Structure 1
């Protein structure tokens, strides 16, 4: 039995038929499936030691606190943060990016300042900056895309200047699969006095990320895209920046002393975690990290690279297919078939048990840049196989033939 066979056995949801066909799940960029180890870790919390954290001295409370804070230590090690104080649990990537845009940006931006983005950003790394710009008088500027969907460092050098205060960029595009040169962009940003904010939703699940090596100032990601539960994610921030930021939610847990007319906040990381935290989610994230590390992030990245290259080779044999993004990419392929709407294509594939995503993928400005209304996307993860790709490609061919006959 190969390592891959063992991995697939860990995901109970994959062992089912959809529309009388074996499930082929190719939508992991939207959300990944969960291994039994993660499901059991969350279930065990609720069954064995469900309790609130930090407050109680009883046994269940202590056990829950150990699980919650133990997960923070796992995250620190997984992304190589320098301190657990730099690991903030959030509801996900969106909340993490909004926290930076609201707490850091609004306090540090003013009229004439610039926020530099790319045209491939997910809405979660675009709309918060629009709102921050409106609130402060700052302006948004956009790096142009090359024909293959990459950015040029020469453009970064040319556009980052003394007015640039924030550079915000996805590590991996959820549409194009582009892997952006974050370390090099961060260096340019820092040389000009700007802060680097990275959307890592599509990178942390699929490759080894070292935030100290990248030297980024803020880095956000979600558990549900990396075999963990929904509703929990992480904001990494450099300690010196987080310490000077105000919380965005106020209430229990995040306070130190409360008086009738004023209050003070706990130290990092808890001042950003108001209310009862996402205890089960964090414990599930910790279990997901354990699982991914048991497989090996290098092994996962290698497997996905082989799968996506195989998929590209097979897809390029189909007449009338347009594939978006660079040749060297992360483990996803976004595409269109001539004369077939992406939603119709996704429905046709679903009829044979193949799950893909169709739509604008929360990247409407990029769709306009590509001159399309919508696209279809197949995304791969550690549990996918070449057989999955074969079934998917055969489905594309049948759909093309069917819709060709119809029209």
Structure 2
């Protein structure tokens, strides 16, 4: 094992130890990342001595918390290369962000016979919301196939697009295969027929430098908990002009201008899409998580995790009983299957060895059908991962093969 493990920051993450102090080899970062102590501390302060509601209080602590909450919005905008903070909508997670676009933009812009293009590798969160709005509006869904090595086939995408295509919604990085989309090329193709492009950035945001202008997409979503931040918060980025045209999705406090029984007017974006008391402490902690990731350097994170993925693939390829899925170069995610061993059985045995992987369909059942398997085992790396995690995984696989051999 040569080049992997150069960035590991295990000491920053208290969750990477077992209850009795042994190393816990966490290889499920694609599902949810562990939290550095800086994020835990920020969340604790926000819930404790700093806590107050935002936007409404005239007292000092409320004003300070409001400043912190909106500073988090500005930090997100800076981190992803948005033009301004008014393009950043806080949501509960990427799933809610996609549903918001589907139900707001989609309801206003889709009609009978319009087309929505998805790919074969999408997470259920980027499939089901579009199915729901298609059923409601009469739009239809087209599915873009994959290349032989598990990438979204842009040549096939170009052939699928028609003047009736209104939305193209794709994963920037596959949560199963780790394959990286050429997002700018996808944007150019979508825009060539007048369609919008939404990117699911759950797996890309924690490990890639982002620039919304360079990507040229129209909507971008990601979840805080995969970015070393807390659960319960995510981000929808949208072009300002698009957000201004979109109607509210949910009603309540905070998203209004004036309420009367004979009619209500709405606040401008992003407040228009943030009904109710917001995710105050979660936003503060997300700010801390972004600062932490930025300190490490997104480009370094990608190189670190991609190197680990290459190392693991090389090791697994030497085992005759292993089938590997996805491209040789991946964004820190490796999916595989052991001959004669269900992934759930492998996951159970690995757990006994203090190794955590994901086993199942990874909320990507159409992709599993395409791969011809009911489930895969998935090892996914984070900035805290290193070669000791790979070694522990391989020991667990060897033990599993002996048990089932």
TM range (shorter): over 0.9
Identify the residue that residue 97 of structure 1 maps to in structure 2: 98
The answer to whether 1:313 aligns with 2:321 is no
Matches within 5 A, 1:73-112: 73-112=74-113
Residues 224-254 of structure 1: CA deviation (Å, up to 9, x unaligned)? 0010000100000000000011111111111
Task: Report the CA distance between 1:22 and its aligned residue.
Answer: 2.5
SS in 1 for 2:248: coil
TM-score by length of 2: 0.97
The answer to whether the 8 Å contact 1:119/1:142 transfers is: yes
Matches within 5 A, 1:252-401: 252-401=253-402
Identify the residue that residue 10 of structure 1 maps to in structure 2: 12
Residues 130-184 of structure 1: CA deviation (Å, up to 9, x unaligned)? 0111011111001111221112222122111101110000000101111011110
CA RMSD of aligned residues (A): 1.3
Task: Report the CA distance between 1:391 and its aligned residue.
Answer: 1.0
Task: Report the CA distance between 1:262 and its aligned residue.
Answer: 1.1
Task: Report the CA distance between 1:261 and its aligned residue.
Answer: 2.3
TM-score by length of 1: 0.97
Gapped regions of structure 2 (runs ≥ 5):
none
The answer to whether 1:145 aligns with 2:146 is yes
Which consecutive segments of 4 or more residues in structure 1 shift more than 3 A?
A: 2-5
The answer to whether the 8 Å contact 1:21/1:352 transfers is: no
Task: Report the CA distance between 1:21 and its aligned residue.
Answer: 5.2
Gapped regions of structure 1 (runs ≥ 5):
none
Identify the residue that residue 113 of structure 1 maps to in structure 2: 114
Identify the residue that residue 55 of structure 2 maps to in structure 1: 54
The answer to whether the 8 Å contact 1:17/1:23 transfers is: no
Residues 210-234 of structure 1: CA deviation (Å, up to 9, x unaligned)? 1111111000000000100001000
SS in 2 for 1:74: helix
The answer to whether the 8 Å contact 2:7/2:304 transfers is: no
In 1, the alpha carbon distance for the partners of 2:115 and 2:43 equals 43
The answer to whether the 8 Å contact 2:162/2:193 transfers is: yes
Identify the residue that residue 163 of structure 1 maps to in structure 2: 164
In 2, the alpha carbon distance for the partners of 1:335 and 1:154 equals 27
